[in-house]
Amino acid sequence: MRWYFWFFFLSGFCSILYELVWLRLAMAQFAVTTALVSIVLSVFMIGLGLGSWGAGHYVRTRPLHSVLPSLRLYALGEFLTGVSALVFARELGVGRTLLRKLDLGQSLSSPMYYVLAALWIGLTLTPWCACMGATFPLAMSAIRQTSPGESTQSFSYLYLANVLGALTGAVIPLLMIELWGFQGTLHAGAGLNMLLASCALAFSLRSPNGTATLIAEQPSGVPAKTSSPMHYCVLFGTGFTSMGVEVVWIRLFTPALGTVVYAFASILGLYLGGTYLGTWFYRRSKNDASAPSGLMFALLGFLVLFPLFICDPRLPIIYHLRIASILPFSVIVGWLTPMIVDGTAQGDPHRAGEGYAVNIAGCVLGPLASGFFLLPFLGERYTLLTFALPWIAASFGGIWRSFSAARADRRTLWKQGLIGVLSLVLVCTTRNFEEQFFPREVRRDSTATVTAAGLGSNKVLLVNGVGVTELTPITKMIAHLPLAFLERTPKNALVICFGMGTTHRSVLSWGISSTAVELVPSVVSVFPYFHNDAAQLLRSPLSRIVVDDGRFYLERSTERFDVIVLDPPPPVQAAASSLLYSKEFYAIAKLHLRSGGILQQWFPQGPSSDLAILASVAKAFEESFAYVRVFHSVEGWGYHFLGSSSPFAPYSAAALASRLPPPAAVDLIEWGPAPTAQQQFAMGVGSRAIAGRTRSSVSEYPRTSR
């Protein structure tokens, strides 16, 4: 049995490694949204469920003397899983190319885009995940062949090892990615799967085939308990709830974790850690493996809602520690799932595969319901309540039956009732993160929760609780600086990342066409909160706003622009923002610049920012453009990177100011800090703050840009 523990430990490690990397690659190819996260997680689980059910059915219906022994089939599954690590990234690239060639005009605001993306992700990812899911019933069958006396709780034994490996896989791959990149990390995972396949194959050769076949053809040994609908409902419910609330957690804890690429791994790691503890406690206990109690149901419903209390902004807790509130829920789920599968299967691979597939079916529907339906319409609070209510109802149903039978332990009944009441109190008395701001406007969609807050010049825009921009003259300079440097009269401009709409508004002040691209639909809806003339500007024939990913929009568009400006929301390491600081993106953007056009990239360099990231961005920008100019911002922090295929004229601040149309000059100084356009430009274009070079003067850049 010890061999199987290590098999499933490494298998769990590789599966989470793939999930993290595949999710990141899928976001890079299709979209960085909550909806896409839901799609990838659901498809991942669909594959696991189909593999588990299919392998269990296969083991049950085929006489093993006519097929390969189960352990050799398990080795084949691990081998194919390793192959997936080598080909899936290319399959994603093919899917993205096909979507572009279809040219259906679908943006991220259209459900059809997600339907098409989901179809391709499903076609490519499901077979590989099915290989992962098949390993559970195949290994259980192998254990029954070689160790029938230890098979009755083999599912929970393998589940424990798999979760422990997954927990390790949620942490260590982050270091591997930093060292080797995504492809190198996938190759390392593939190597581990190939090693697993080789060891399993070698291990299968140690036992004589005749013995294995003899044991396999015997009756199943300990008869499995009859599975009731309640057992399947609980298995479905634990999967539906755990994966559904995981999507809510991503939004709920973003203010603590930030929007960096691997914030999801922190939630996943804690969830897996709690699941491991729950499974470990179950295996150490003497619990009846087929009878979850009403008290456990009540506690599970309460713990679904518990993060509402911990994330209440009035609670004096270090915000980064609040994520630990998901651990108790994870422990209960880690106890319930293997307990019920063990109790109903008793080592039967078919029943175990069937039960595990039902659990995974819940895991598929949970994130889809959460990401596409519940969160946009109900928000985080009532989405969690929706997931908690069935468990609370099941608990109260148990109380009613117990009273009717007149055989209840009254202390237990009072505990269940008290927990149910406390659950409802949590919903009614706690506050959401955005409720600490006043005045405010809150919008929700399948991508994010958007909050517009503040008064006067102190207004801020928050996405999932993270401040992304404020009313600042920097966002005006992002538009006016490249437009003023353009050698000809501009005709149009593209603004990637709409934000508060300030940059889009500044471009329109030039009297030219402005196209603004925004990833989050609700961000556009709060434009009037920040600018009184927003409604008028939205009606202007020169104004066009597209809800889409900036990179995908450029890939589908054939339009060319005089100026393209980017202001990705901080931090630069964020999942959506980091893609817009890459050479790959600059290569696409250059195709949409007219001859002599200018691309402006804003980099929010502050005192505490990582200089290594600045150097990396500067290098990518320098290698992408023949001519580069870099300016400090008007507020003394951050940099405006300007790139072009043509040399920049040595305009002074006065010359730049003279090139502005009168409405643009008024817009530039609307919020100061200087009283005139010339003085405003001088704050960033003075001799002390300017840097410029071509590719032949690389060594001068770091010194002159600081």
pLDDT tens-digit map of 452-461: 999 998 999 9
pLDDT of residue 563: 98
Q: Report the chain's terminal Cα–Cα distance, integer Å.
A: 61
The span from the CA of 216 to the CA of 347, in Å, is 12
pLDDT of residue 148: 63
pLDDT of residue 490: 96
pLDDT of residue 430: 93
Pairing of strands 492-496, 449-453: unpaired
The sign of the torsion formed by the CA atoms of 682, 687, 689, 690 equals: positive
Closest to 563 measured CA to CA, from 643, 625, 650:
643
Q: Mind listing the domains of the chain with CATH numbers?
A: 1-49+65-221 (1.20.1250), 468-704 (3.40.50.150)
Which parts of the chain sit beneath pLDDT 50? Answer: 64-67, 105, 208-224, 289, 403-407, 687-691, 694-706
pTM: 0.79
Residues 6+ apart with CB under 8 A from 274: 326, 327, 328, 329, 330, 331, 333, 334
Residues 6+ apart with CB under 8 A from 20: 169, 170, 173, 174, 262, 264, 265, 268
pLDDT of residue 291: 61
Q: Could you read off the pLDDT of 532-550 as tens digits, one per residue?
A: 999 999 999 999 999 888 8
Q: Is 113 left (phi over 0), alpha (psi -120 to 50) or beta?
A: alpha
pLDDT of residue 383: 95
pLDDT of residue 410: 66
